[in-house]
Amino acid sequence: MDWLGRYRARRQQASEARLAERLQAWLQASRSIHRQCGASIDDRSAGEGDIGRSLDRIDRELHLLKDTASALTTPLRRRDPELARQAAEITESLYRLRNQTASYLIRAQGPAPAFLTDPRAGEGLQGEHRRRAFEQVGAEARQLALRIGEQLTLLQRQAEPLLRLPPSRRPPSR
C-alpha cells in the first residue's frame, strides 16, 4: 500500500472514531435529560420548593445535547442517514419533554409557589395542584418519556457497530 493509501486509511479510522465519540456523548446527554425529566415527573413532591434547580440541571444538559447533536449531525448523515434522522427526531422529542416537564412543575406549584408562602397554609392544596397538573400535562409527558426511552434503546442497538469503533487518539470533541 502506498503512502497516500495509508494516509487515507488513517484519516478514515480517525473520522469513524470521532463519530463514535460524538455519538456516545450525544447518547449520554440524551439519557441524562430523559432520566432527569422522568424523575421530575414521577417525583411525589413535584411543585414543592424551588423547581428552578431541577429545570436548571435539565437545561444545562440540553445545552450539551445541542452541542453534541450539531457535531454529530453531518458525519452521521454521511455514514447512516436513517440513524441521523432518528437521532434528530429524538433530540426534538427531548426538547418537547423538557417543555412539558417544566409546564408540569409550574402547574404543580399552584398559583403561588410554596416557598414564597407559608408552607403549612397550603398543605392540603399542594396535592390537588399536583394531581391536576398531572392530568393536564404530566401524563402526556410521562408517555413521551417512555417513548423516548424506547427510541434511545433502539437507536443504541442500531448504532452498536459505530460505538464499537476504537477511540481516536485525540481528546473527545465537544
pLDDT tops 90 at residue 46: no
Confidence (pTM)? 0.77
pLDDT, tens digit, for every residue of 20-34? 899 999 999 999 999
The verdict on residue 79 lying in a domain is: yes
The verdict on residue 170 lying in a domain is: no
In this predicted structure, what is the pLDDT of residue 150? 93
The SS3 call for residue 21 is: helix
pLDDT tops 70 at residue 168: no
Domain membership of residue 137 as a residue range: 3-163
pLDDT, tens digit, for every residue of 54-100? 889 999 999 999 999 998 888 889 888 999 999 999 999 999 999 99
Number of structural domains found in the chain: 1
CA–CA dist 69, 160 (Å, integer): 18
CA–CA dist 174, 166 (Å, integer): 18
146-154 mean pLDDT: 91
The verdict on residue 133 lying in a domain is: yes
pLDDT, tens digit, for every residue of 90-146? 999 999 999 999 888 888 877 765 555 555 555 566 667 777 777 777 788 888 988
Alpha helices for 43-80 (secondary structure H): 52-79
The verdict on residue 99 lying in a domain is: yes
Contacts of 93 (CB under 8 A, 6+ apart): 144, 147, 148, 151
pLDDT tops 50 at residue 169: no
In this predicted structure, what is the pLDDT of residue 1? 61
The verdict on residue 87 lying in a domain is: yes
The verdict on residue 171 lying in a domain is: no
Q: What are phi and psi of 173, to 5 degrees?
A: -85, 150
pLDDT tier, 148 (very low <50, low <70, confident <90, very high otherwise): very high
In this predicted structure, what is the pLDDT of residue 59? 92
Residue type, 124: G
